[in-house]
Amino acid sequence: MSFPHKRADFPDDFIFGVATSSYQIEGHAKGGAGRTHWDDFAATPGNVVRGETGALACDHYTRYAEDLDLVQAGGFDAYRFSISWARVMPDGVNINPEGVDFYDRLTDAMLERGIHPCATLYHWELPSSLADKGGWRNRDIAHWFADFTQAIMSRIGDRMSSVAPINEPWCVAWLSHFLGEHAPGLRDIRAAAHAMHHVLLAHGSAIETMRALGMTNLGGVFNMEWADPVDNSPQATRAAARYDGIYNHWFLSGVFKGEYPQIVLEGLEPHLPDRWQDDFPTIQSPLDWVGVNYYTRKRIAPETDLTRPGWPALREVDGPLPKTQMGWEIYPEGLYQLLTRTTRDYTGDLPLFVTENGMACADQREPDGVNDPARIAYLETHLAQVKRAIQDGVPVQGYMVWSLLDNYEWALGYEKRFGLVHVDFDTLERTPKSSYHTLANALRS
């Protein structure tokens, strides 16, 4: 399949990478990692498809060298990986030397292959012992997280190309405490409001901890969705603005403006922790770059079901565009819109990176390999929007595909395949898909 992009079309120091996360690939049962709130969530019937967990996942804990060989052979410059809090501190307090050693080996293995290590400190493995103390609802999480940051970065921080504290604050806070779809599975507006604030306080505390260690190139990774009102009515426009406020503006506004958007405070202010305004100096710790994770847009309508009263009074409506295996509409323009708006309204000259983008397909291994033309088309159209943003002056400096490997897709288990590399979950055999080969060719040219 012909692919119109090549490395030479992008700025000279533009970074191409692939992303993964610890719980989704490592195999959490190995190496003395502690129990996480995700394990507790998955143990509760109905939360995760077939009750699947990350106990074995891709067994990257044992096979990391083979996986990094794939990153290198694909011609990627960077590997965005995450560090499991519960592997480093199984009980949330004491350090597991085996866990720290693993990330030390992993880091050196990247450097030996000429791959930039780009770390995320939290991609959702809260130790259960800390969840028992209230997890993201408890203000002390900022201190617990700073201690974890210190424990791991005092060991490997000298070799990181870049670090972001928290992957996708919206998922950590809203998806997990208001929508109940991720651990801890709460549907509680007060818990959600506390988590929406504490996640940013913890982010800022980790940035301060790493600055004190002398580290540079620190950023924040935010997931963003474009929100379109279902029609032109003022009600739908207002509902979409609320969705946009909760999903996108809350976090950027907190970090870059030291305030929360009024359209969200209308619903959340009564539930926020005391003296929340005092925390902005920490939340606003200066960043060196911002990462945008982008997959789709949502069409938003006002809530019309009278049995569901109350804020934020909105609902998602099925859209007409072609969809991925996740049921997410494919809407490449949304990436352009969010990159340009983020630069214009929040980040100015700060470098932006697309830190996740990709699609799930029901890929199957055939005798001639794994053909995934839909994924190639997805990457092609989204890279075109990245180019368009760069041409319009947006300082996008890198693009990372989610994901290197098929992996554990959280509440949806193992059947949603996002990898450039197919994984047979019975034998753990890796097979690069046609999308992997297509990108490798583009990066060589």
Q: Which residues does the annotation mark as catalytic?
A: 168, 356
From 126, 141, 134, select the one nearest 87 (Cα to Cα).
126
- Distance from C-alpha of 288 to C-alpha of 409, rounded to nearest angstrom: 30
Q: Which member of 336, 409, 411, 419 binds ligand FCB (CB under 6 A)? A: 409
Find the shortest distance in angstroms from Cβ 166 to ligand FCB: 11
Q: Is 178 in the site for ligand FCB (CB under 6 A)?
A: no
DSSP letter assigned to residue 370: B
Find the shortest distance in angstroms from Cβ 92 to ligand FCB: 21
Residue number, 230 or 411, with CB nearest to ligand FCB: 411
Q: Is 357 in the site for ligand FCB (CB under 6 A)?
A: no
Q: Which helix (H) or strand (E) holds 361?
A: none
Find the shortest distance in angstroms from Cβ 23 to ligand FCB: 9
Q: Is there a contact between 67 and 150 (Cβ–Cβ < 8 Å)?
A: no
Find the shortest distance in angstroms from Cβ 410 to ligand FCB: 6
- For 395, the token pair is 């300082």
Q: Is there a contact between 353 and 219 (Cβ–Cβ < 8 Å)?
A: yes
Residue number, 383 or 405, with CB nearest to ligand FCB: 405
Q: List C-alpha distances in Å: 136 to 190, 191, 194, 251.
A: 12, 8, 7, 15
Residue number, 168 or 228, with CB nearest to ligand FCB: 168
Q: Which member of 144, 402, 414, 436 binds ligand FCB (CB under 6 A)? A: 402
Q: Which member of 168, 228, 279, 380 binds ligand FCB (CB under 6 A)? A: 168
Find the shortest distance in angstroms from Cβ 360 to ligand FCB: 7
Q: Is there a contact between 268 and 187 (Cβ–Cβ < 8 Å)?
A: no
Find the shortest distance in angstroms from Cβ 222 to ligand FCB: 11
Q: List C-alpha distances in Å: 233 to 36, 89, 230, 238, 247.
A: 44, 51, 8, 9, 21
Ramachandran category for residue 128: left, alpha or beta (phi over 0 → left; psi -120 to 50 → alpha):
alpha
Span interacting with ligand FCB, options 110-118, 163-171, 186-194, 309-317, rule CB under 6 A: 163-171
Residue number, 167 or 342, with CB nearest to ligand FCB: 167
Span interacting with ligand FCB, options 167-175, 194-202, 284-292, 313-321, rule CB under 6 A: 167-175
Please report, as a single letter, which amino acid is at residue 262. Answer: Q
DSSP of 242-259: HHHIIIIIHHHHHHHHSS
Q: Is there a contact between 82 and 21 (Cβ–Cβ < 8 Å)?
A: yes
Find the shortest distance in angstroms from Cβ 221 to ligand FCB: 8
Window 295-354: residues binding ligand FCB (CB under 6 A): none
Q: 291 in helix, strand or coil?
A: strand
Q: Is 356 in the site for ligand FCB (CB under 6 A)?
A: yes
Size of the site for ligand FCB (CB under 6 A): 12
Please report, as a single letter, which amino acid is at residue 366. Answer: E
- For 288, the token pair is 């060196």
Find the shortest distance in angstroms from Cβ 114 to ligand FCB: 26
Q: Which member of 21, 129, 162, 385 binds ligand FCB (CB under 6 A)? A: 21
Q: Are strands 314-317 and 289-302 parallel, antiparallel or unpaired?
A: antiparallel
Span interacting with ligand FCB, options 165-173, 262-270, 303-311, 426-434, rule CB under 6 A: 165-173
Q: Is 171 in the site for ligand FCB (CB under 6 A)?
A: yes
Q: Is there a contact between 165 and 220 (Cβ–Cβ < 8 Å)?
A: yes
Window 243-302: residues binding ligand FCB (CB under 6 A): 293
Residue number, 209 or 223, with CB nearest to ligand FCB: 223
Window 213-252: residues binding ligand FCB (CB under 6 A): 223
Q: Which member of 28, 418, 420, 438 binds ligand FCB (CB under 6 A)? A: 418
Q: Which member of 122, 226, 410, 414 binds ligand FCB (CB under 6 A)? A: 410
List the beta bridge partners of residue 421.
Answer: 405, 432
- For 206, the token pair is 């980790």
Q: Are strands 421-423 and 396-402 parallel, antiparallel or unpaired?
A: unpaired
What is the distance between the terminal CA atoms of the chain, rounded to a whole angstrom?
15
The footprint of ligand FCB (CB under 6 A) covers: 21, 24, 167-168, 171, 223, 293, 356, 402, 409-410, 418
